[in-house]
Chains A and B, each alone.
Chain A
Amino acid sequence: MASSNIYRDLLLPQRHGLPFWTPEPDANLPETYKDRGISIGDLGLLTDDGGFDYLFNIHAKADDPVNQLGTPTDFNPLDKSDYGIRKIESFHSKKCCITRNIAKAFDAGADVYVVSRSSS
């Protein structure tokens, strides 16, 4: 089993969402997209290497820079207001460690994490 699949199956039960093995935006995408990365309204394809293959954003207009890779004909963006999105800053706190099956996970000082766990 690929590590990306193991990673997904380990972290899914933590109920934070679908964990990406590749959280970074596609390095070949336009800068305007890479500045923000995967965001709400993004339509894409889930890849078997644990990533997201971006197509277009349903909130941006067809001529928006983040949609320069193309949109379907008759594309009509979905309206969105800034208040339509709930934002929680530092939902995951600094230096947090999200894992499963751990015997112990601790900050050993000097920014060293030590995680012991039994078999996966």
Chain B
Amino acid sequence: MLVLPHGADRYEVKAYQDYEEYASKHGEAWYRFVNQTQRRGARNNSLYLVTGCDKSRSWGLAAGSQLQEHTVEFKFKGGSLAQGTVGFHASWTTVDGLESRKYPLSITDTTARMNQCVFARGLVIGINKNILKKGTVRSRQVGFSTSNSFVPFGSPPGSNGSPASAPQSSPSRDSATESSSGDLSNQKQDLTDVGDSDNSSSVIVQGFPQHPKQVSLLFLNEVYQPLKSASGVES
């Protein structure tokens, strides 16, 4: 659960396709930068470009794996919002098997900055060396809970500190479909071939979680028809 004592603002890019194109164009260079220049040992599909975020100035969160019904208590005392800074006291009741975090950490901490990102929406950027041709393919689902054994651009396999996935195993790519990945199933993806004819790698850019789409509340698929008299009649 997530509690937002002061609420949160939402930010979302409009020109979503600009970000998709930009990430497709530069994804390979970014992995090279991360793993060759910065030596991060980044796993495939761990690179993430933020296209939307929910920002808050305080939060309390908790999750656990306990089996029986339980009650969680979260208490907070806010300071003066009007003065721009907020003293905040938060405490969770301790429940066995429950882990919790909070911000700010104590009542002596004050915060006026909306710099806490409780939710993000964005693009997962990956490299697929199996794709030999340009075009649209049905891509696999993106998972977060399983590691991906493919490490692009010469990062040492099993290197410590790799983000996104612990190097405990190297499951097949298909196992990545097990995690909760929202609406990504069978999503068509545009691939941009970034290499020359020798280089068969491609950048795969996938929205995660799915970008909020425009909706139409009308059930009739009527196409707007301008009146014929709109042009050529006057004067």
Contact = CB atoms under 8 A, between A and B. Distances in A.
A41 B11 CA distance: 11
Contact of A11 (B2, B37, B56, B69): B2
B56 A92 contact: yes
B103 A24 contact: yes
Nearest to B61: A7
Contacts of A113: 3, 72-75
A17 B209 contact: yes
Given A91-B8, A91-B9, A45 B116 contact: no
Summarize B's interface: helix, strand, loop or mixed.
strand
Interface stretch (B28-36, B133-141, B169-177, B222-230): B28-36
A58 to B, nearest CB: 7
B22 A53 contact: no
Interface residues of A, number: 80
B157 interface: no
Nearest to A37: B115
B167 to A, nearest CB: 10
B59 A23 contact: yes
A55 B34 contact: yes
A4 B99 CA distance: 9
Contacts of B124: 46
B77 interface: yes
Interface string B44-88: 001111111111100101111111111111111110000000000
Contacts of B101: 21-22
Summarize A's interface: helix, strand, loop or mixed.
mixed
B188 interface: no
Nearest to B74: A113
A61 to B, nearest CB: 15
A23 B118 contact: yes
Given A16-B119, A58-B22, A85-B11, A43 B49 contact: yes
Contacts, number: 253
Contact of A45 (B10, B42, B62, B63): B42
Chain B interface size, under 10 / 10 to 19 / 20 to 34 / 35 or more: 35 or more
A78 B19 contact: yes
A98 B64 contact: no
Smallest CB-CB A-B distances: 9 pairs: A37-B115, A99-B1, A17-B119, A7-B63, A91-B10, A38-B117, A3-B99, A45-B163, A72-B33
Given A21-B61, A70-B33, 11 more contacts: A13-B182, A17-B119, A46-B163, A48-B164, A55-B34, A78-B19, A86-B10, A92-B7, A92-B8, A113-B73, A119-B66
Interface of A: 1, 3-13, 15-25, 34-48, 52-53, 55, 58, 70-74, 78, 83-100, 102-103, 105, 110-120
28 contacts: A6-B63, A7-B61, A8-B144, A9-B180, A21-B61, A34-B115, A35-B115, A38-B117, A44-B50, A45-B40, A53-B163, A70-B38, A72-B26, A72-B32, A86-B14, A88-B9, A94-B6, A95-B3, A95-B5, A98-B1, A99-B1, A99-B2, A103-B69, A111-B75, A118-B69, A119-B66, A120-B63, A120-B66
